[in-house]
């Protein structure tokens, strides 16, 4: 699928620019609340992290967890993640396609992904969730964090395809442009997708982000 390949290429080239998104002044109060929520939800857990990127959230969580196994498809972002000051006994990074997850020896007690749900084509969400959930023990905790669309602040949408996926055109520092799939699901849409999979569904919408927490059936 072309959008998948374009997304991978975009994030590989954007690796050194990526963490600027955490410096936007107007988003600091939201980001601080997200940090607190994530640490509170996952303290003491043995965690599988999906699409870890440059390790921003991995580094934040590592001191509070039993362990983190962090996955990303891009070697460029993993190189940055591995360079961070993270206790190596706590975290292992793996290059992996999250649509074809490797099999791990023991189930995790929790899993999470930040800014990943919005990049999943709608036709692949169920398959991804089935794979992801299969790595986590029954009753385990799952967290997703992602963006709200904020008019005048978010990158405008460029088009919507026949499956209902929306896209943005994004420019890198070198002037190159990429069309990136970026969906903005509503709380009812998330609840519908997770029906039969999730217990204790808890959704919070902030100004710029949403936070979803649930336990596996």
With respect to residue 50, please indicate whether it lies within any of the assigned structural domains: yes
With respect to residue 177, please indicate whether it lies within any of the assigned structural domains: no
- Copy the structure tokens of residue 135: 């790595």
The whole-number pLDDT of residue 3 equals: 45
The whole-number pLDDT of residue 36 equals: 98
The whole-number pLDDT of residue 151 equals: 96
With respect to residue 159, please indicate whether it lies within any of the assigned structural domains: no
Q: Note the pLDDT tens digit of each residue in 167-180.
A: 999 988 889 888 99
The whole-number pLDDT of residue 7 equals: 75
Q: Note the pLDDT tens digit of each residue in 107-144.
A: 999 999 999 999 999 999 999 999 999 999 999 999 99
With respect to residue 7, please indicate whether it lies within any of the assigned structural domains: yes
Q: Any idea what the CATH number is for the domain that residue 106 is in?
A: 3.40.50.150
The whole-number pLDDT of residue 1 equals: 32
With respect to residue 168, please indicate whether it lies within any of the assigned structural domains: no
The whole-number pLDDT of residue 2 equals: 38
With respect to residue 171, please indicate whether it lies within any of the assigned structural domains: no
Q: Note the pLDDT tens digit of each residue in 6-31.
A: 777 788 778 788 899 999 999 999 99
- Copy the structure tokens of residue 139: 């009753």
With respect to residue 166, please indicate whether it lies within any of the assigned structural domains: no
Q: Note the pLDDT tens digit of each residue in 73-112.
A: 999 999 999 999 999 999 999 999 999 999 888 899 999 9
Total structural domains in the chain? 1
Residues in contact with 153: Cβ distance below 8 Å, sequence separation at least 6, in sequence order? 26, 208
Q: Round to whole Å and give the CA distance between 217 and 102.
A: 22
Q: What residues make up the domain containing 100? A: 2-152+185-216
Q: Buried b / exposed e across 45-77, counting CB within 10 Å, b at 16+?
A: bbbbbbbbbbbbbbbebbeebebbbbbbbbebb
With respect to residue 126, please indicate whether it lies within any of the assigned structural domains: yes
């Amino acid at each position: 699928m072309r959008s998948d390949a374009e997304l991978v290429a975009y994030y590989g080239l954007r690796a050194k620019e990526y963490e600027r998104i955490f410096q936007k002044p107007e988003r600091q109060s939201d980001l601080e609340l997200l940090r607190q929520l994530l640490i509170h939800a996952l303290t003491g857990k043995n965690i599988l992290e999906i699409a870890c990127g440059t390790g921003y959230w991995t580094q934040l969580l590592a001191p509070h967890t039993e362990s983190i196994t962090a996955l990303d498809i891009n070697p460029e972002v993993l190189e940055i993640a591995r360079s961070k000051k993270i206790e190596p006994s706590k975290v292992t990074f793996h290059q992996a396609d999250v649509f074809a997850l490797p099999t791990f020896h023991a189930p995790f007690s929790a899993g999470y992904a930040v800014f990943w749900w919005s990049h999943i084509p709608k036709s692949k969400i169920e398959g991804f969730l089935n794979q992801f959930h299969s790595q986590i023990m029954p009753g385990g905790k799952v967290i997703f964090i992602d963006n709200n669309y904020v008019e005048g602040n978010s990158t405008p949408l460029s088009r919507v395809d026949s499956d209902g996926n929306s896209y943005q055109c994004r420019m890198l520092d070198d002037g190159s442009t990429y069309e990136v799939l970026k969906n903005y699901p509503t709380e009812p849409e998330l609840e519908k997708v997770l029906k039969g999979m999730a217990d204790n569904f808890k959704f919070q919408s902030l100004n710029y982000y949403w936070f979803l927490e649930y336990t596996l059936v």
